[in-house]
Structure 1
């Protein structure tokens, strides 16, 4: 029944009313009740309630007194804080003045009497604007007030600068602090305004001095006139260019007098420039006037006149004497140069015609050279078989003679003969490789996904015995990483780098072959502790028939690195060298890696075989060259084999029919004359015997199509001249297991 939020007076009034109602009820019950006990009980209950209400009334009265004291203390603190503020302050609650400090009330003395609590904020703004002490504002106060009323609570302050008499300036800040309250702050900014004004005046004075200095030091002459044609300002350059006396050119001098003096000493190209009236009329209509005059002192002056905003005009004089003389000189030179160019053009036309004739001869010569190169390439490609056949036969015979003359006096000569044939073979291979790589269509290169680890291991096995013979330690760190390259020529390139490293490393040295990954690339490196290469020789060692200056005589013809460079250039690889004389060298080939899943590692052909053991095998050799056939038979017989020689497929089948059993292994040349091939001979023998006869195809053709064909028929392919150190282990490896029937499938473990 009593609302705690009501004022204390209202609560006391309601409590008294409740007490009166309870007393009346008690009296009424006393009159009507018949029980004395009930009456006594009601009186006791009523007394307890009255005591409780009395205590509540006392507590409420005490709290009301405390609130009044705290409110008075807060008002005094606020009054003290407002009085201590440096600026004026006023709080308007619901657009009526609630509280303000003394500075706010006394800022404008003529309206201070009107500034009382309850004053409407609009009335205050009107009174402020009507004050005689206010000089003006830089904005509209009512506009700022309207913006504050529309703004959200706590929004940015709206400021207006007010100027008062006595050179005083105040900043009026209006801000909405709550839904009902608007605060006005008056800040004295007189010192800041005066300081800015002083700095601005000083800056203007400095700029004027600076501009005057610039004006006086301009390369052109400048003079300004007012609208009546009288001098206002000029620089000394203007006086010097026109040769005017000091008494004539002064502030206030008339344009007519100046023009009259100039007319007697100079010639205007534009005759109208003599007429000052025409000059002024032109300026008024067009805003500018331009003329040129030649002074008696030899100067040629360009005169420009422009109208100024105040109705006057400025005259600008520029000395163009040097430019005119330069232009005249250039015109003369252009005329002379034109004559020279005309003559030179006639000579060039004659030279062009002669050049055209020479180019035609060069074109014919180029076509002839290209035809010769193409013919050379076709010749070497076609003759490679015929060139390698006698080399192959000679190698076989020399090897046979070498083993047969062990301990004889001619054995050293046979070894030298074998070394000479090896050098001849290497030179022939190098020449054929360069010929193929220099062919226009680069058909010799067949890119494929190549495992570097396999190639490195193959090179290691081929060169290990050579390194041991020279007393050089050869180490290879392989890695199963794949690159996109030509397998044959990449193998040849690695082999050439390793051979060079072994050849130019003294006994006791070391050669290391390895590769490392660098991002998406892989770098194959060949390190050696050899004689090294000077910086001068490093730039030319990749050229054909070029060797370093410190290479001993007779150590090669300089084609190996040329083959490496050509292969890498065609395949997009990067070859480089770093070397230091007497320390060693490192050759690198950088290639792009490819993501290839490595296949199951195939069983490798052993490189070492027991050459002292007897080869108890029946070997069928199919070769159409009688010299090669004879040499191969002798070599195999020296190894202890029983050899049957044939020059064609039919002859080979005849030997098999006569024996009645299949041979243990077949060695067949690919080209057997006309349409007959070694593939046909091997397949015919296998078909006749019904057995998968082991076979090796030996050919001078180095094309990839033979490797693919050999893989299809499970036939390893060796190139001529055949490497005997590789042939014998391959024969022993192929014949180690029993022969399989043709119907049984299997995978061929071939290796080039």
Structure 2
């Protein structure tokens, strides 16, 4: 469309009639014709103005249409707003009607703590607040009006300002429920809740009837409890009196009059404590360390009385046990108990005990004398057995040597000499058993408890009894084991040796089985046999000295000391010993030994041989011994074995010798008791600084546990006196 056409269209109004539109078109055509005819400049300016007017009219019409559309939308919005206002007002009326029907008082405050609405029951029982409860009332002003209301009943000691501050502090709580006391014994429960928008809703509920009912129920319960307490107090034997916080008598029972001699007519509520105590003091006085001043101080103490207990006594020797206890309300209660019968019983019992103790002391002295005589006799017997055993072993050893020589020189009588040799061996075994028994009874047995490998011990015992079992046609089985136990190796071996020996000796046919099994932290070593068994009544008899149940065993095979040694050794070592048997089928002895993870000492393997003439590299031994005879004998023996010996009499001399000569001996043999100077352990400690890692032994006849512990802590091995040449040769041959 051209600009002229656009301008022409702008002048035409579609709402005009056709005649009007034709008139406008004729006028436009005439104007255009005149413009063409003139063809001049003046007419061009008029035409330009005409075009601008047409464009402006077009813009005005467009804006008019937009305005009309906006007005139409505004009218529709106003209509909807009016509808919403009508609905809101209706909802408000409905809400007001609804909260008015609620039986509780209701009020709502907005985020700015201003009242939005409330019902007529809000502020019930507070007529002086009616005119102030209007929308727009600030919450703080509302609380101030309540605090100053004549209808508010404040707690004792609380002012309106204090109540107002406490009530305002609860406003910040999200939920709060509490009771408010009003005049005329009315109560209102206030329930306050915060809304999601930050406002506050308050509900007030009249709980007067509920509180009065609870109060009546509580009073009835207290009355019932009071009657029960009264009945209980009247039925107990003790005398009871109860005082309140002002030292006034609040309650008592009949026992108070009967027990303490107070006349019943003189007992009344409100009686002061001093007056009551003067009545009691007429018949009973304080006993022991209790004084009247101490009692008065306790009674008059304001708070925190500790329980008090004391005794009272009358002139006719009646005893009363009195106790006082504070109560929660600041009062206290006294109770009085008649302990006269108990005191008399205690006195009679004490007299009886004294008489019994005197008789027991007399019998004890007699028993101690008898035990002392028996102990002396037993110790004398044990010492005699020990001394006799040592004395007899020497000629028996000589007899054995003579018999061996005769058997070598006289083959014709070898069988007779062999029987005599066996008989002497039996006597020697009996003497060794007697020596063991005497040591165990006298407490002279030396126990060196340490790690012991069970396997090598059982293997040695198998080698010892294998031929004897084979000769009887028995099967001897010892189960190998790798367990390491904590015990004394010598006595553990002696215990198992006696058990296996008895099993082989008394079993006629069948089998002897020995094995160890793990049970928790202990190893149980068991010895089973298929012998005649042991009856139940003989279980304790078998452990007595010189007790032998099987008469088939000859006296040459033993005197019944083996199990006595087993029992005593196990008791000293703390190893549980048990026996089970079924006559005609089996017997089982078991010994419990603690298992240890410590490494057992090396087995007793022989070291490399030491020739008596040398033949190897020259080795030097340092001998520290203060006894000249022992030192001379030891030097002679070591030199025959091919060693060079540096012998000194003290630790100080040994250190001086090494310092002067610069010698570095290969072996160190140090006696423990070296006189008044350094001990053997002191000397070893000093020598280790000069000669570390040198093989050494502490030589001593001291078998005390203290020395064994000290040597074990120092890491020193003891070579006991008298020195065994076998042990000494093994030490020198192994080099450690």
Q: Structure 1 residue 210 and structure 2 residue 213: aligned?
A: no
Q: 1:510–1:369: structure 2 CA closer, same or farther, 3 Å change rule?
A: closer
Q: Render the CA deviation track for 1:676-727: whole Å, top value 9, x for unaligned.
A: 999978984889xxxxxxxxxxxxx99785453131244xxxxxxxxxxxxx
Q: Structure 1 residue 199 and structure 2 residue 199: aligned?
A: no
1:490-529 alignment runs, 5 A limit: 490-519=492-521, 521-529=522-530
Q: Render the CA deviation track for 1:470-504: whole Å, top value 9, x for unaligned.
A: 44433323322223332222111111112223334
1:342-381 alignment runs, 5 A limit: 377=386, 380-381=389-390
Q: Structure 1 residue 146 and structure 2 residue 204: aligned?
A: no
Give the equivalent residue in structure 2 for 1:533: 534
SS of 2:534's partner is: coil
For structure 2, list consecutive stretches of 5 or more residues without a partner in the other structure: 1-47, 243-250, 285-314, 321-333, 615-628, 644-719
Q: Render the CA deviation track for 1:292-348: whole Å, top value 9, x for unaligned.
A: 49xxxxx989999xxxxxxxxxxx99999x969x98x999x99xx99xx99x99x99
TM-score (norm 1): 0.52
The Cα shift of 1:513 comes to 2.0
Q: 1:75–1:702: structure 2 CA closer, same or farther, 3 Å change rule?
A: farther
Give the equivalent residue in structure 2 for 1:574: 576
Q: Structure 1 residue 432 and structure 2 residue 426: aligned?
A: no
SS of 1:712's partner is: helix
Give the equivalent residue in structure 2 for 1:159: 178
Q: Distance in 1 between matches of 2:585 and 2:160?
A: 92
Q: In structure 2, which of residues 184, 188, 194 is the aligned counterpart of residue 170 of structure 1?
A: 188
Q: Structure 1 residue 390 and structure 2 residue 399: aligned?
A: yes
Contact 2:546 2:559 in 1 (8 A): yes
Q: Render the CA deviation track for 1:546-582: whole Å, top value 9, x for unaligned.
A: 3458997867422112222333333343333344444
Q: Distance in 2 between matches of 1:145 and 1:423?
A: 112
Q: Distance in 2 between matches of 1:98 and 1:291?
A: 77
Give the equivalent residue in structure 2 for 1:474: 476
Contact 2:104 2:205 in 1 (8 A): yes
1:656-695 alignment runs, 5 A limit: 684=640
Q: 1:528–1:355: structure 2 CA closer, same or farther, 3 Å change rule?
A: closer
Q: Distance in 1 between matches of 2:507 and 2:516?
A: 17
Give the equivalent residue in structure 2 for 1:118: 136
Q: In structure 2, which of residues 441, 445, 449 is the aligned counterpart of residue 442 of structure 1?
A: 445
Contact 2:524 2:592 in 1 (8 A): yes
Q: 1:83–1:369: structure 2 CA closer, same or farther, 3 Å change rule?
A: same
Contact 1:301 1:318 in 2 (8 A): no
The Cα shift of 1:455 comes to 0.7
The Cα shift of 1:457 comes to 1.8
Give the equivalent residue in structure 1 for 2:323: none
1:313-328 alignment runs, 5 A limit: none
Q: 1:59–1:549: structure 2 CA closer, same or farther, 3 Å change rule?
A: farther
Give the equivalent residue in structure 2 for 1:643: none
Q: Which moved more, 1:392-401 or 1:560-569?
A: 392-401
SS of 2:282's partner is: strand
Q: 1:179–1:377: structure 2 CA closer, same or farther, 3 Å change rule?
A: farther
Q: In structure 1, which of residues 95, 99, 105 is the aligned counterpart of residue 113 of structure 2?
A: 95
Q: Distance in 2 between matches of 1:73 and 1:394?
A: 141
Q: Distance in 2 between matches of 1:62 and 1:463?
A: 126
Q: 1:432–1:98: structure 2 CA closer, same or farther, 3 Å change rule?
A: same
Q: In structure 1, which of residues 695, 710, 729 is the aligned counterpart of residue 729 of structure 2?
A: 710
Q: 1:187–1:424: structure 2 CA closer, same or farther, 3 Å change rule?
A: farther
Contact 2:195 2:201 in 1 (8 A): yes
Contact 1:449 1:594 in 2 (8 A): yes
Q: Structure 1 residue 483 and structure 2 residue 485: aligned?
A: yes
Contact 1:523 1:590 in 2 (8 A): yes
Q: Distance in 2 between matches of 1:160 and 1:57?
A: 54
Q: 1:196–1:173: structure 2 CA closer, same or farther, 3 Å change rule?
A: same
Q: In structure 2, which of residues 456, 459, 476 is the aligned counterpart of residue 457 of structure 1?
A: 459
Q: Structure 1 residue 290 and structure 2 residue 281: aligned?
A: yes
Give the equivalent residue in structure 1 for 2:9: none
The Cα shift of 1:507 comes to 1.6
The Cα shift of 1:518 comes to 1.9
Q: Distance in 1 between matches of 2:241 and 2:600?
A: 92
SS of 1:507's partner is: coil
TM-score (norm 2): 0.53
Contact 1:137 1:160 in 2 (8 A): no
Q: Distance in 2 between matches of 1:578 and 1:120?
A: 98
Q: Render the CA deviation track for 1:265-292: whole Å, top value 9, x for unaligned.
A: xxxxxxxxxxxxxxx9996698656324
Q: 1:457–1:189: structure 2 CA closer, same or farther, 3 Å change rule?
A: farther
Q: 1:109–1:515: structure 2 CA closer, same or farther, 3 Å change rule?
A: same
1:57-96 alignment runs, 5 A limit: 87-93=104-110, 94-96=112-114
Q: Distance in 1 between matches of 2:74 and 2:723?
A: 118
The Cα shift of 1:205 comes to 2.6
Name the structure, 1 or 2, with higher relative contact order (CA <8 Å, separation 6+).
1
The Cα shift of 1:192 comes to 4.1
Contact 1:220 1:238 in 2 (8 A): no
SS of 2:215's partner is: helix
Q: Distance in 1 between matches of 2:164 and 2:408?
A: 117
For structure 1, list consecutive stretches of 5 or more residues without a partner in the other structure: 1-30, 225-231, 256-279, 294-298, 305-315, 606-648, 657-672, 688-700, 715-745
1:506-655 alignment runs, 5 A limit: 506-519=508-521, 521-547=522-548, 556-597=558-599
Contact 1:380 1:435 in 2 (8 A): no
Counting matched residue pairs gives: 535
SS of 1:541's partner is: helix
Contact 2:181 2:187 in 1 (8 A): yes
SS of 1:501's partner is: helix
Q: 1:470–1:83: structure 2 CA closer, same or farther, 3 Å change rule?
A: farther
The Cα shift of 1:451 comes to 0.7
Q: Distance in 1 between matches of 2:405 and 2:82?
A: 133
Q: Render the CA deviation track for 1:567-615: whole Å, top value 9, x for unaligned.
A: 333334333334444453433322333333468889899xxxxxxxxxx
Q: 1:201–1:106: structure 2 CA closer, same or farther, 3 Å change rule?
A: closer
Contact 1:543 1:561 in 2 (8 A): yes
The Cα shift of 1:456 comes to 1.5
The Cα shift of 1:87 comes to 4.5
The Cα shift of 1:157 comes to 3.2
Q: Distance in 2 between matches of 1:223 and 1:433?
A: 77
Q: 1:80–1:319: structure 2 CA closer, same or farther, 3 Å change rule?
A: closer
Give the equivalent residue in structure 2 for 1:620: none
